[in-house]
Amino acid sequence: MHVLNSRNCRLFFGGQGISLVGTWMAQATVFWLVYELTESPLILGLVGFTDQIPSFLLAPLTGLWVEQWSRYRTLLITQTLVMFQALALAFLALSGEINIKYILLLSLLKGIVNAFDIPARQVFIAEMVPKADLSSALAVNATIISGARLLGPAIAGLLIAAFDSGLCFLINGISYIAVIIALLAMNISFKPPPCPTSGPWQRLAEGWTYSFRYPSIRAILLLLALVSFMGVPYTSLIPIFAKDIMKGNSETHGFLLAFAGVGSLVGSLYLSFHKSLSQLKEIWISFTLFLGIALVIFSQSRILWLSFGMMFIVGCCLVIQVATSNILLQTLVSDDKRGRIMSLFALAYIGMVPFGNLFVGEIATRIGAPWALTINGCFCILGVVFVNKQMRNISFSIE
Give residue-wise pLDDT tens across range 17-60: 888 888 888 888 888 888 888 878 778 778 877 877 787 777 66
Longest dimension (CA), the chain: 61
Mark the ranges of the chain whose per-residue pLDDT is less than 70: 1-4, 59-60, 63-64, 67, 131-132, 189-213, 274-278, 334-339, 389-399
Residue 348: which H helix or E strand, with range?
Answer: none
**CATH fold for domain 2-393:** Growth Hormone; Chain: A; (1.20.1250)
Which has the closest alpha carbon to 107: 354, 363, 358?
Answer: 354
Distance CA 62, CA 347 (A): 10
> CA 328, 329, 333, 338 torsion: positive or negative?
negative
Q: What is the pLDDT of residue 398?
A: 47
pLDDT, one tens digit per residue, over 140-181 is 877 787 777 777 877 887 787 777 788 888 999 999 999 899
Q: How many CB atoms lie within 10 A of CB 366?
A: 11
Q: Are 59 and 387 in contact (CB under 8 A)?
A: no
Specify the amino acid at residue 31.
F
What's the Cα-to-Cα distance from 11 to each of 103, 134, 272, rounded to whole Å?
A: 32, 17, 20
pLDDT at residue 181 in the model: 93
Residue 296 pLDDT? 94
Distances (CA, A) of 27 to 168, 299, 326: 9, 21, 23
DSSP H helical ranges for the chain: 7-38, 41-68, 71-95, 100-128, 134-162, 165-185, 200-213, 215-230, 234-240, 250-271, 277-300, 304-332, 338-346, 353-367, 369-390
Distance, CA of 289 to CA of 292 (rounded, Å): 5
**CA 260 to mean position of chain CA atoms:** 13
Note the pLDDT of residue 83. 93
- The residue count for the chain: 399
Residue 174's pLDDT is 93
Report the SS3 class of residue 289.
Answer: helix
Query: In angstroms, rounded to a whole number, what is the distance separating the alpha carbons of residues 239 and 233?
Result: 12
DSSP state of 193: P
φ/ψ region of 274 (left if φ > 0, alpha if ψ in -120 to 50, else beta) reads beta
Domain map (residue ranges) of the chain: 2-393
Can you give the pLDDT at residue 24?
Answer: 83
Q: Are 117 and 125 in contact, with CB atoms under 8 Å apart?
A: no
pTM of the model: 0.70
Rounded CA gap, 162 and 184, in Å?
Answer: 35
Do the Cβ atoms of 378 and 296 come closer than 8 Å? Answer: yes
CB crowding 198-230: b at 16 or more within 10 Å, else e: eeeeebbeebeebbeebebbebbbbbbbbbbbb
Which pLDDT score is estimated for 215? 73
Q: What pLDDT score does 195 carry?
A: 54
The pLDDT score that the predictor gives to residue 294 is: 95
